[in-house]
Amino acid sequence: MTQDSLALVFPGQGSQKVGMMTDAYASFESVRDTFEEAAEVVHYDMWALVKDGPQEALNLTETTQPVLLTCSVALWRAWQEQGGVMPGIMAGHSLGEFSALVCASALSFTDAVALVRRRGQFMQTAVPVGMGAMAVVLGLDDSVINEICATLTGEEGSVSPVNYNSPGQVVIAGHSAAVEAACVALKKAGATRTLPLPVSAPFHTSLMKPAGEQLAQAIADITIAIPSIPVVHNVNAQIQNDPEKIRSVLVEQIYSPVQWTDCMRFMINRGTTRLVECGPGKVLSGLARRIDKSLTVASIERPDALTAAISEIT
């Protein structure tokens, strides 16, 4: 049974915290099994890290990515185990796009765990620590941010919008000095707030192209199937069914902006009225409400929330 009005979305980096998924791990065998399966790929006790930390280790990009993918896939399996209906469409934010493709049977879980671990390594080493930065900009039109970033790209390096998260929330990234200068200029232009993000690399910028080249090699031999559920891709807010084109957009995504607002609007225009966030936290649920207040939104990290969402969506 499918529910064409239902979309599942999968979070990316920033949703991780020590102790997440504790109740789900205790409640669902499928969640425990998924963490055991991931541990065999990464060769460490992933659940012990999630449960006990330390947070600094959990925040390492090469660790965060396989951990969050595992959390999302585990909740998807619990959703199915408990009788949840199949969604009509899926999307994931940055790393979350890999989670969506696993849940849509386009990538195997074990292949994806190994792949996103390497993706994290590639992204972390593409730019020397301290050279890049990211910041969130609140309360300013996308067009103003685009223009100011384009104007400031020059002697102090490059800066560009990288996550169009919702109207009034855009993340910028690039060389550290250029990001700092952009934050000053954007505040003068009317931004209500600019906030540096605690990351050590400028994700989704042209500076990530070396990581993209490495990812292209790593993904070349991985089997990709036609998704069983349509997945909306970050780079162009479109559905892609050709496995080779999926391979290509996954590489392009690493150095291209995340068009999350457009992804959400694409799903809404296709008939989505209910949204379930399949992963830790409520970041995407909050963004969804900013994009369209009429959406019915649920986050299912907690078992009671998961079972409530399943009972409400029939």
CB 99 within 8 A of CB 67: no
- Phi-psi group of 104: left, alpha or beta (phi > 0 → left; psi -120 to 50 → alpha; rest → beta): alpha
Q: Give the bridge partners for 135, in sequence order.
A: 172, 196
Q: What are phi and psi of 156, to 5 degrees?
A: -90, 10
Relative to beta strand 274-277, strand 2-10 is: parallel
Q: Which of 93, 175, 204, 233 is catalytic?
A: 204
- Is 43 labeled as catalytic in the residue annotation? no
CB 299 within 8 A of CB 75: no
- Residue of 72, 91, 94, 89 lying closest to 24 (CA atoms): 72
Distance from C-alpha of 12 to C-alpha of 237, rounded to nearest angstrom = 16
Relative to beta strand 231-232, strand 86-92 is: parallel
- Residue of 42, 111, 28 lying closest to 75 (CA atoms): 28
Two structure tokens written together for 312 = 């409400």
- Residue of 21, 138, 11, 141 lying closest to 65 (CA atoms): 11
Contacts of 153-160 with C-beta under 8 Å, sequence gap 24+, read 153/178, 156/181, 158/205, 158/206, 158/207, 160/205, 160/206, 160/257
Q: Specify burial of residue 149 (Cβ count, 10 A radius: 0-12, 13-18, 19+).
A: buried
Q: Which of 94, 176, 200, 256 is catalytic?
A: 94
- Is 94 labeled as catalytic in the residue annotation? yes
Two structure tokens written together for 49 = 């890290």
Q: What residues act catalytically?
A: 94, 204
